[in-house]
Amino acid sequence: MDKLVVKGGARLSGRVKISGSKNSALPILAATLLTPEKCVLHNVPDLSDIRFMLEILAQLGSEVTFENGTVTTRAPKVKSETPYDLVRKMRASICVLGPIIARCGRATISEPGGCVIGDRPIDIHLKGLAMLGAESRSEGGNVYVTSKELVGREIFLGTKFGSTVLGTDNVMMAATRAKGVTIIESAACEPEVRDLADVLVKMGAKIVGHGTRRVEIEGVDGLGGCEHTIIPDRIEAGTFMVAGLITGGDVFLDGANGDHMINVIDRMKSCGAELKCSGEGIQVAAPRKLSSIDLVTETYPGFPTDMQAQMCALMSVTPGISAITEKIFPSRFMHLSELRRMGAKVDLEGSTAIIHGVKELSGAPVMASDLRASAALVLAGLVAGGTTEVNRVYHIDRGYEHIDQKLRALGAEIERVR
């Protein structure tokens, strides 16, 4: 099992290429199951989650190739049962459910796995599909879904924690083949959901309103192939933004889309960061001192929960007292205990982390608990005195393409040890 060894103290500077969005690519790959025709997807990141999804597609009957960031798929026939050994490793595998139901009329899928960041039931997915006419039952760790005919209707997908991204994806994909019109109220409006809808439209779907809380889908008889370029990963961009700031550096995020990161940019500016957005990307530089801030994670366009851990790392070495409240996954604070091992002064009050900025962190062996927590520990290691060893980096490989190589190119002293 690999670990990352980080020697702190280097100031990062230079240009880093932002990869394609993992959270966009995964449901788009699932959407290729909706058509027997060829689909070509560019700017697909080389991540373990992507590789898992490609294996799932192959097991379901799709012909798949992946080379130099381009995935080509063709699914002349689709099987209805997903392989447990792959599905259990990745929560996003649930997004194949909608396409399989639309294509086969039945599906068997294991309860998906992924990061341990809190309870994330798939009930809302099944509720949405049930509204379209799909019946489901759970037995032995599997979910069995069947439908004689999908029929469009008005569906509310809101939850107490906000809109569900993968739930919106699943219902939207299934609805492309339902009879009549489906209206999704309280739909997720993240850029990744818009990207999926754009792909479905290229395939021949009739969708309007994507990117808003109300999405309307008119079912069609069949979908065709497409060619599409995946949008840049806004969470990777935000992570490298923090890397530049925490080291007092000056970094250009090549390809980052500022329109997808309005709230993140606003919070960064509030703590004193100097940012400049252009058509090519985002320039981020740190002044001599940053200032503490308060922030609350919310559904898009609010501050993303996937950036919460990274901001905890940044605020741990920022003068003053910061309050970071988690509203999406209230228990998503497993990284705090590891930051404390490095000298961070953090108190957890309910779903709010109260962070007292310290002058310096100390390098220590730490353990990654999930994808974004592992990124936060690497960021902390960049500024800590001495050496930090981040164990269980298979988590970080799920969502960051060659993060050690990219950081090293910016001047970081970081090494992957097997």
Tokens of 155: 């569906």
Q: Is 226 a residue of the active site?
A: no
Asked if residues 206 and 178 have their Cβ atoms less than 8 Å apart, the reply is no
* Dihedral sign of CA atoms 186, 371, 9, 253 in order: negative
Q: What are phi and psi of 151, to 5 degrees?
A: -130, 130
From residue 309, alpha-carbon distances to 168, 298, 303 in Å are 25, 14, 12
* Residue type at 301 in one-letter notation: P
* Residue type at 198 in one-letter notation: D
Q: What stretches of 203-315 show up as alpha helix (H) in DSSP?
A: 234-246, 262-270, 308-315
* Dihedral sign of CA atoms 90, 96, 101, 104 in order: negative
In the block, tokens 């290691």 appear at 381
Asked if residues 247 and 318 have their Cβ atoms less than 8 Å apart, the reply is no
Geometric angle at alpha carbon 353, from 232 and 265, rounded to 5°: 30
Asked if residues 24 and 192 have their Cβ atoms less than 8 Å apart, the reply is yes
Distance CA 322, CA 303 (A): 15
Distance CA 339, CA 335 (A): 6
Asked if residues 258 and 265 have their Cβ atoms less than 8 Å apart, the reply is yes
- Name the β-bridge partners of 154: 183
From residue 139, alpha-carbon distances to 98, 110, 111, 397, 411 in Å are 19, 10, 10, 32, 52
DSSP letter, residue 258:
G
Exactly one of 39, 95, 104, 115 is catalytic; which is it?
115
Distance CA 46, CA 99 (A): 23
Q: Percent helix, strand and coil across the chain, each rounded to 5?
A: 35, 30, 40
Tokens of 16: 């880093």
Residue whose C-alpha is closest to residue 400's, from 240, 255, 261, 250: 240
Strands 162-163 and 181-185: unpaired
Q: E strand or H helix at 359, and its extent?
A: none
* Active-site annotation, residues: 115
